Amino acid sequence: MNLDCINDVDFFTQKINGRYRNINRRRIAFKIFIFGLLALTLSCVSALIYSGIYERKFSYSNNLNKTVNIIPNKEIYFYIGTDLNQARLNFSKSINYDQLKGESRDLDLSRTKPLDQRNGKDYYPAGKLPASFFQDSIKIDGIDLPEGDITFEDEKRIIGFTDYKRDEINLPTGWSSKTNKNTTPLNFSPERFSTLPILNTRFINWINIGSFVDSRKLWGKFISPSNKINISIKGVNNSYFKKRNILLTDGSILGLKNYIYSAILFFISLLAFIIAFVVLNQII
Average pLDDT over residues 103-129: 93
Which of 91, 115, 104 is CA-nearest to residue 172?
115
Which residues does residue 169 pair with via DSSP β-bridges, in sequence order?
122
Q: How far is it, in rounded angstroms, from Cα 228 to Cα 55?
A: 14
Which residues does residue 140 pair with via DSSP β-bridges, in sequence order?
143, 231
Task: Tell me the three state secondary structure of residue 161.
Answer: coil
- Name the DSSP class of 282: T
**Terminal CA-to-CA distance of the chain, rounded, Å?**
56
pTM: 0.82
Average pLDDT over residues 103-114: 92
Average pLDDT over residues 91-95: 91
Q: What is the pLDDT of residues 1-41, one digit of tens each?
A: 555 555 555 555 666 665 656 667 888 889 999 999 999 99
DSSP letters along 174-223, please? T--TTTTTTS--SSS-TTS---SPP--HHHHHHHS--SSTT-EEEEEEEE
- pLDDT the model gives residue 192: 76
CA angle, 149 then 153 then 155, to 5°: 105
- pLDDT the model gives residue 200: 95
- pLDDT the model gives residue 20: 54
Q: What is the pLDDT of residues 211-267, one digit of tens each?
A: 666 678 999 999 988 999 999 999 998 888 889 999 999 988 888 888 999 999 999
Contact partners, residue 6, CB within 8 Å, separation at least 6: none
- pLDDT the model gives residue 18: 57
Q: How far is it, in rounded angstroms, from Cα 224 to Cα 142?
A: 9
Q: What is the pLDDT of residues 61-84, one digit of tens each?
A: 888 999 999 999 999 999 999 988
Q: What is the pLDDT of residues 147-204, one digit of tens each?
A: 878 999 999 999 999 999 999 999 998 899 899 988 999 999 887 778 899 999 999 9
